[in-house]
Structure 1
């Protein structure tokens, strides 16, 4: 455990040195937050002030929490592991005296910690000052929301890792990444709340892990879904975590075996 803590701490310090990139990320997140908020406000206003359970205040909270959590959750993923597989550097990772998935997860947690503080909180503060936020009434929403955020980070990490591990069998993973990001964007609730979907698309979304990455932590943290009603949503996140962890582990074992068979 101390080893992984040291890795996470080093990852946090590493990303804290990228000050200009952090400032650019804050600016971009804030601008896109205003764009998304204006679109959602217009849709709610045209619907008479409420749309499928969302008022203007709840929509503002949804948008700014989404902008704040996008960077630390990293739902769009990273391509570092797939590049290391293609370049052969993954062999070094597999020889380290740490779990391959544990190593990258520790790096993810350290990176997410900094991104939450450096790129997540500032846009949220700007949104609170300009449009206002609908804060939860129960303190339990904050506690359960923090746990839901950790689960969301983990689920997103595992799903992204599976996309990266496909590099063991694919010469190029950019096409798979594009498809993954397109589906994730839609079904996670990042673009619009999944409750705004038609019934058939809502059913499809709920059958995937994507809402557990964005929609669930936002609903839980914002208090739009009360703590007791949010418990099944958090349990669903935990279920997806177990399923994806098992699948990622099996993919890693199969990928390592394929490299050994090929003489890598």
Structure 2
């Protein structure tokens, strides 16, 4: 009940920023058109790049725009607030709450992601589907599996950002590390280019990294690239990275808490 209330409160909090939501929808849609026409030019020269046809590539573009805010592909996603609380010392108040710090922020992030998926995700994908030939599924089961995969990707993304935020316990300013993390996510999630389209061994390595679980796997589920055993392996891949990174976050959190106690915080 406690964490459900945190998630619901986070959903309502982001729902109050109506102007920012509208601006985000407009920005995502505009960039969707820019990237879509870039992909059209690229796939005209390489019709089967990465094993995708043009409809699948365009679906990748518009799904990435739909998940941009929900999956926090450019960092942020509210976790920067945790960084600031660590820097200012307000984290001491959070540690005094009768709730687990990691679960508190995970619940808040899930509430944020749920609103962003609805508020900033539906319209760009709908516009893309109206203006371009997308490879969207026609059955409800695939859509439900896609949403489940998106949820797993959100957890993986949170776990990575949580680790970056915890680094602020040791760094005077964690903004540089946050910037590096955002760039890594943008490149290795497939937002710039589908990971399957990367050359040679880089494509294989990139698809094993945790960032692939945030965007690449959900989009492959949506367009039907992953079915049967491949689908189960993709979901297991996401779940494994989520569990591993959350466990690592708990270890770092424990070390950070000891550091705060030693400093008298």
Structure 2 residue matching 1:192: 3-state secondary structure? coil
Q: After TM superposition, give the deviation of residue 38 of structure 1 in Å.
A: 0.8
Aligned to 1:9: 8
Aligned to 2:201: 200
Q: Deviations over 1:96-136 (max 9, x none)?
A: 11111111111111111111111000101110110132122
Aligned to 2:224: 223
Q: After TM superposition, give the deviation of residue 228 of structure 1 in Å.
A: 3.5
Aligned to 1:213: 214
Q: After TM superposition, give the deviation of residue 14 of structure 1 in Å.
A: 1.1
Unpaired segments ≥5 residues, structure 2: none
State how far apart, in whole Å, the 1-side matches of 2:145 and 2:105 are: 25
State how far apart, in whole Å, the 1-side matches of 2:109 and 2:183 are: 22
Please say if residues 184 and 210 of structure 1, whose CA atoms lie closer than 8 Å, have aligned partners that are also in contact. Answer: yes
Q: Over aligned residue pairs, what C-alpha RMSD do you find?
A: 1.3
Matched, 1:64 2:62: yes
Matched, 1:29 2:35: no
TM-score (norm 1): 0.95
Aligned to 2:38: 39
Q: Which runs of 4+ in 1 moved over 6 A?
A: none
Q: After TM superposition, give the deviation of residue 52 of structure 1 in Å.
A: 2.3
Of residues 171-180 and 251-260 in structure 1, the stretch that sits farther from structure 2 once superposed is 171-180
Of residues 80-89 and 139-148 in structure 1, the stretch that sits farther from structure 2 once superposed is 139-148
State how far apart, in whole Å, the 1-side matches of 2:43 and 2:137 are: 21
User: Between Structure 1 and Structure 2, how many residues are aligned?
Assistant: 262
Query: Is the alpha carbon distance of 1:144 and 1:76 closer, same or farther for their aligned partners in structure 2, counting shifts above 3 Å?
Result: same
